[in-house]
Amino acid sequence: MPYLFVAPNMLIFITFIIWPAIRGFQISFYDSIDGRTFTPVGTGNYKAIFGDPTVAEVAKNTAIYVVFYVIISTLLSIAFALIVNEQKFAKGFFRAILFLPVMLSPIVVGLIWNDVLDRKVGPLNALLQAIGGGSPGWLVEPKLGMMAVIFVGVWVHLGFYSIILLAGLQGIDRSLLEAAAMDGATRPQIIRTIILPLLKPTTLVILILATIHGFQSFDFIYTLTGGGPLGATTLIVQYIYDRAFQTPIQYGLGSAAGVILFMIIFAFTALNFLLGKKREAI
C-alpha cells in the first residue's frame, strides 16, 4: 500500500530525472551532432574535456563563484533571518520584500540587473558618478563581472534561505533564550552560544542547498553577462550548454560535462552531510 502512494511521484521522478540522467550518462560515451545519430567514442569525451584549455578557466570561475556565493549567502541569510525574527513592525511586508526576488523569473532578474549595472546609462553608475565614484564596467571588466554575478546570485536566493532559517529560528525553544537572558547573557552571547548552535541543522541544509544552487547557476548569468566578459563568468553549466547547444553541437561532450558536474555536486553534498553528521555526533 505505501508503495502505491509514492508511485505517482516516483513515476514522475523516474521519467524526468532518473531516466534522462541514465541516458545522459550513456550519451557521454558517444559523439552526436544532431541527437539522432550517435558514434561511440569510449571515454573520448571525458578526455576531450580534461584536455580542453577552457575547462581550467571554467573550473576556476565555478570554484570562485561557488565559494563566495555559499559563504556570503549563508552569512547574510542568517543575519537577515535574525533581523526579521526580531521585527515587531510591518513583519509581513519586510518578509515579502525579502522573498520577492525568489519569485522573479531568472531571465527577468538578468535583464533587470543588466540595466542597473550598465556602464554608460545604468542607474548604479549614475549614482556613483553623482558622488564622484566613476563608472566601473560591471559587465565589461572580468573581475567586476564575477563580483556582479555573485551579488545577483546572492540577491536572488537570499530570501529563500532566510525564510528556511527563520523557520529554524522559530523552532528554538524560547525558554532557553529567556533563561539565558535572565542569567545576564547579552544578545551577542545568546546568538553565539545558543541560537547558532541550535540552528546548525538548518544551516547545514542551507549550505547544501547553496552549494547545489551555486554549481547549477546558469539562467540569470546567461541573461546578465552571457558568460562574459571574456568568459570570466562562464560557469560549468554554461560550458555544458555551449557544448550541447551552440555550434559546433557536441551532445556527447555536453553530456560528459554534465556527468562530471553531477559527480562534483554529489561529492560536495556528501561531504557537507558527513561533516554535519560528525559535528552533531561530537
Residues making contact with other proteins (CB under 8 A):
34-37, 118-121, 137, 139-140, 145, 222, 225-231, 233-234, 238, 242, 245-249, 251
Query: Least distance in Å: CB of 149 to other proteins?
Result: 11
- Residue with Cβ nearer other proteins (54 or 189): 54
- Residue with Cβ nearer other proteins (50 or 245): 245
Any idea how long the chain is? 282
Query: Least distance in Å: CB of 190 to other proteins?
Result: 46
- List Cβ neighbours of 172 (8 Å cut-off, separation of 6 or more): 194, 195, 198, 199
> ∠ CA(218), CA(221), CA(224), 5° rounding?
150
Cell digits of residue 124: 548604479
- Residue with Cβ nearer other proteins (139 or 236): 139
Query: Least distance in Å: CB of 236 to other proteins?
Result: 15
Task: For 40, list phi and psi in degrees, rounded to 5.
Answer: -65, 135
- Residue with Cβ nearer other proteins (73 or 114): 114
Instruction: Tell me the C-alpha distance between 81 and 74, whole Å.
Output: 10
- Residue with Cβ nearer other proteins (44 or 226): 226
DSSP string, 148-208: HHHHHHHHHHHHHHHHHHHHHHHTS-HHHHHHHHHTT--HHHHIIIIIHHHTHHHHHHHHH
Q: Which of 210, 191, 188, 196 is nearest to 268 (CA)?
A: 210
Q: Cβ of 208: how many Cβ atoms within 10 Å?
A: 19
Query: Least distance in Å: CB of 65 to other proteins?
Result: 14
- Residue with Cβ nearer other proteins (137 or 276): 137
Query: Least distance in Å: CB of 54 to other proteins?
Result: 11
SS3 30: strand
- Residue with Cβ nearer other proteins (162 or 238): 238
DSSP helix, strand, coil percent of the chain (3-state; round to 5): 75, 0, 25
Phi-psi label, residue 231: left if phi above 0, alpha if psi -120 to 50, beta otherwise: left
Query: Least distance in Å: CB of 242 to other proteins?
Result: 6
Query: Least distance in Å: CB of 247 to other proteins?
Result: 4
